[in-house]
């Protein structure tokens, strides 16, 4: 069995795989990393661990993972199943490289655009010749709500809510419309732009806000909130070969 750990900006997601089958997903805060991993190791007979992190972890947290003798920490020197054409390859987030790896496994032909809707929205493009070319980064849903509150003196911090219409008639409904509809329009617009340039395009939406956003998009997509975890499992097996 494999344990795949994705340490994000906000939460940690860990998944147990039996070969390519996803058995269980755990979500917890970074402060509980050591305790949670030890509990998972107690519940499952784990053979290998792979770790992807965009956040800093403490020495003791890393040691807990290293104490398990078969742990792979992904970095920019790890093996990836595509040609990295990014102009600054060592500056790109490991999570984006994992998503590109998952796209490489997912696609049979054609081009793939992976949209990760988490703390940030990342767009990552893998072409039909297996070249990773980059994409874009923009603020995520919660970040947009928080920025309106933080950078103004009068706008409240609201919880994420689907707007009833584009036209808001109160401050609250205007914020929901601006944030949620604005992000939906952005994603639909980016997909449309890619479709105009790159034919035979498959679009995959993943990340924590997948379920909330996928129902509102007009574009044709594959929604898979565990796409990055599946990519980690694929990368672990790829690096073990």
Is it the case that residue 96 has pLDDT exceeding 70?
yes
CB 33 within 8 Å of CB 57 = yes
Residues 100, 107 contacting (CB under 8 angstroms): no
For 226, the token pair is 């565990």
* Per-residue pLDDT at 108 exceeds 80: no
Residue 8 counted as an annotated binding residue: yes
Question: pLDDT tens digits, residue range 15-34?
Answer: 999 998 999 999 999 888 88
Answer whether CATH 3.60.15.10 is correct for domain 2-73. no
**Distance, C-alpha 108 to centroid of its chain:** 21
pTM of the model: 0.91
pLDDT exceeds cutoff 70 at 79: yes
pLDDT tens per residue across span 122-133: 999 999 999 999
Q: What rounded mean pLDDT belongs to the chain?
A: 92
- The answer on whether 144 is annotated among ligand-binding residues is no
Determine if residue 96 is labeled as part of a ligand binding site: yes
**Active-site hit among 31, 95, 124, 200:** 95
Q: Is 173 a known ligand-binding residue?
A: no
The rounded distance, in Å, linking the Cα atoms of 19 and 228 is 16
Is residue 162 within 8 A of residue 176, CB to CB? The reply is yes
What pLDDT does 69 receive?
A: 64
CATH topology match: 2-73 vs 83-231: yes
Is residue 95 among the annotated active site residues? yes
Residue 56 in this model has a pLDDT that exceeds 80: no
CATH of segment(s) 83-231? 3.30.420.40
- Cα Rg of the chain, angstroms: 19
Residue 9 is labelled as binding a ligand: yes
Task: Kindly list the domain boundaries of the chain, sorted by start residue.
Answer: 2-73, 83-231
């Amino acid at each position: 069995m494999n344990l795949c750990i994705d340490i994000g900006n906000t939460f940690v997601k860990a998944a147990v795989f039996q070969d390519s089958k996803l058995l269980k997903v755990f979500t917890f805060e970074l402060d509980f990393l050591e305790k949670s991993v030890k509990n998972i190791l107690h519940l499952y007979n784990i053979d290998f661990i792979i770790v992807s992190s965009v956040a800093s972890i403490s020495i003791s947290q890393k040691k807990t993972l290293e104490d398990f003798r078969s742990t792979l920490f992904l970095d920019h020197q790890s093996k990836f199943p595509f040609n990295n054409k990014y102009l600054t390859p060592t500056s790109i987030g490991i999570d984006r490289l994992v998503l590109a790896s998952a796209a490489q496994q997912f696609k049979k032909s054609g081009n793939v655009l992976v949209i990760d809707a988490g703390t940030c929205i990342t767009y990552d493009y893998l072409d039909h010749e297996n070249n990773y070319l980059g994409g874009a980064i923009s603020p995520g849903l919660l970040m947009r709500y928080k920025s309106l509150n933080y950078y103004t003196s009068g706008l409240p911090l609201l919880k994420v809510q689907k707007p009833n219409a584009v036209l808001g008639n109160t401050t609250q409904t205007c914020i929901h419309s601006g944030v949620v509809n604005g992000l939906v329009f952005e994603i639909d617009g980016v997909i449309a732009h890619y479709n105009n340039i790159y034919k035979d395009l498959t679009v995959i939406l993943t990340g924590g806000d997948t379920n909330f956003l996928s129902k509102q998009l007009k574009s044709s997509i594959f929604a898979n909130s565990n796409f990055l975890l599946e990519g980690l499992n694929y990368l672990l097996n790829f690096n073990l070969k």
